[in-house]
Structure 1
Amino acid sequence: MGQKVHPRGFRIGIVEPWRSRWYANKKEYGDLLVEDRNIRLFVKSEYKSAAIEKIEIDRTRDQVIIHLFSARPGIIIGRKGQEIDRLKARLEDKFGRRMEVKIVEINNPYRCAQLIAEDIAQQLTKRGSFRRAIKRTLDQVMEAGVLGVKIELSGRLGGAEMSRREKASRGSIPLSTLQRKVDYGFTESKTAQGVIGVKVWVDLGDYADEENSDGANAEAGKVSKKAKRSHKR
C-alpha cells in the first residue's frame, strides 16, 4: 500500500498541513482550485533556477497570500526587492486579484525531496551519467543527516532502446508509518532520448523530533543573538 500511495497525500489532514488553505462554496470551489494550480505553474516556470520546493496559498476575502519555500530566495527577491515587486505586479495582472508574496528560506536543500529530484533531473538533462548522479546524490543526502533516502529513475536510461526502471536506496524508508515524516518529490527530465521520470523519498524522522529540532534551532538562534548584543556592549 505504502508504495502506491503519495506519502504526502497519505498524511494530509493527520500530520501534514494542506498546501491551499481557504474556504469556498460549491460554485467558486472549482475555479479557485484551478487558479491555485495556475499560480503554482506560473511561479515555477518563471523561477526555475530559484529552487522552489513548494508553494502554499492562503486566501482571505479580498487577498491571496502566496508563500514561496525557496533554497535561493535572492533570485526571487532581487536587488532591493525589485524582482519580488515585479512578480507581485505580474500575478495581479494575470489573475486579477490583490496578491501578497512571502518568501520562506530553505536552509538545507538536501533534506527536501522535490529539490533533490529536480537536481537529479538537471544532471540528466545535461547528459550526465544516471548512475553517477544517483550515487553522488545518495551520499550528499545522507550527509545532510536524514535517516534514509530512496531514488527511482524510469525511462530510456543511458539512451537505451527499451525503457527500464532503476532504484537505489540508503537507510530506512517506512512505507505506512503515519508518524514518520517521509518527504516525496517527483519531476521529469527531458533528454534527447525521451522523458525520464525521477522519484525521491526522504525519511526525516518522526514529526515530534522534527518539531523539537526546529524549536531548538530557533532557541539557539535567539541565544546567539543575545550573546552578540552583550559582546557589543
Structure 2
Amino acid sequence: MAIERRFIQDSMVVYKVFKYLETKLDRAGFAYVNIQRTPILTRIDVYVTDPGRVIGRKGKSINELTSELSKKFGLENPQLNVVEIKDFYLQPRIIAQRVCKLLEIGKKARPILHFTLKKILDSGAIGAEIVASGKIVAKGGRSKSLRVAAGFIPKSGESGRLVRSAHVTAYPKSGAIGVLVRIVPEGTIFPDKKPIDKSKLELPAVVRHAVEEPPHFPGEKV
C-alpha cells in the first residue's frame, strides 16, 4: 500500500500546486504546469502567455515564487522553468478564463462564444467546443445551457483523452456560469480515425461572421 499511497500523495501535491499557480499567475496568463521529480531536484515547467510577469525584475519574482513553492508544498530543491505560450487560442484554460471575464463585465454569451470558436479554429484547431451553463440570461431568469461547436470533437474512448479541456466558473451579477472549453489541436492523431484535413472543415455561417472582439491576452501583440 505504500506505493499506492505515494502515488496519491504526489497527485494531490500536483493538484495543489496547479490551483496555487492558477491564482498566483492569473495576470501572467497561466495555462498549465508540468512537475517532474528526480532524486536531486523537482523540475517545474510553468506555461504562461506573459513570462515577464513571472520572472520579474532581475529574476526577483521567480525566486520568490520558487521559495514559496518549496515552503508551502514541501518540494525538494524546486527548479522553476517558465515557458512562453504563443498559441493563445489553443489553450482551453486561457480561453475559458477569457470568456468568463467577458461574461462578468456584462457581455452577451452568444456572440462571445461564436467569436471565440472562430478564433480557435482560425488558429489551427481541427475541432472545438464551448459550453456555457448557468445564469446566461438576465438576472432572475432561468438557468440554461448554450453550446457552440465545430470540427471533430471525440467524446469518449482513447480518442477522447487526446482532447484538451478546461472548466472555469464566471460570477456575473446574474449568477454563476460554468464555461467548458474542449479543443483538438492541429496534428492530433487519433488511433481509430484517418488524419483530418482541416481545409475540408466548414464553419457554421453564424461563426464565420462573428465580430465580437474580446480583450487581448497578457503578452499578446496587437
Classify the secondary structure of the residue corresponding to 2:163.
strand
- CA distance in structure 2 between the aligned counterparts of 1:27 and 1:200, rounded to whole angstroms: 32
CA RMSD of the aligned region, Å? 2.2
Question: Conserved in 2, the CA contact under 8 Å of 1:179 and 1:207?
Answer: no
Q: Provide closer, same or farther for how the CA distance between residues 91 and 153 of structure 1 changes in structure 2, counting only shifts above 3 A.
A: same
Superposition pairs for residues 66-215 of structure 1, below 5 Å?
Answer: 66-97=44-75, 98-159=77-138, 160-176=140-156, 178=158, 181-207=162-188
Q: Deviations over 1:202-232 (max 9, x none)?
A: 22244359xxxxxxxxxxxxxxxxxxxxxxx
Q: Any idea what SS the aligned residue of 1:31 has?
A: helix
**Cα distance in 2 for residues equivalent to 1:178 and 1:109:** 26
Displacement after TM superposition at 1:188 (Å): 0.8
* Structure 2 Cα separation of the partners of residues 37 and 129 of structure 1: 32
Amino acid at match of 2:147: K
Question: d(CA) in 1 for partners of 2:21 and 2:100?
Answer: 19
Q: Counterparts in 2 of 1:45-60, with a 5 A limit?
A: 45-60=23-38
Normalized per residue, the structure richer in strand is 1
Identity of aligned pairs, percent?
24
Matched, 1:33 2:11: yes
The offset of 1:172, in angstroms, is 2.6
Q: Which has the higher helix share?
A: 1
Q: Deviations over 1:58-107 (max 9, x none)?
A: 11235322111112222111122221111001112222332111112211
TM-score (norm 2): 0.75
Rounded to whole Å, the distance in 2 between the matches of 1:199 and 1:26 is 31
Gaps (5+ residues) in structure 2? 191-222
**Structure 1 residues 27 and 184: CA distance shift in structure 2, 3 A:** closer
2:30 and 2:94 in contact (8 A); partners too: yes
Structure 1 residues not aligned, in runs of 5+: 1-23, 210-233
Whether the aligned pair in 2 keeps the contact of 1:149 and 1:171 (CA below 8 Å) is yes
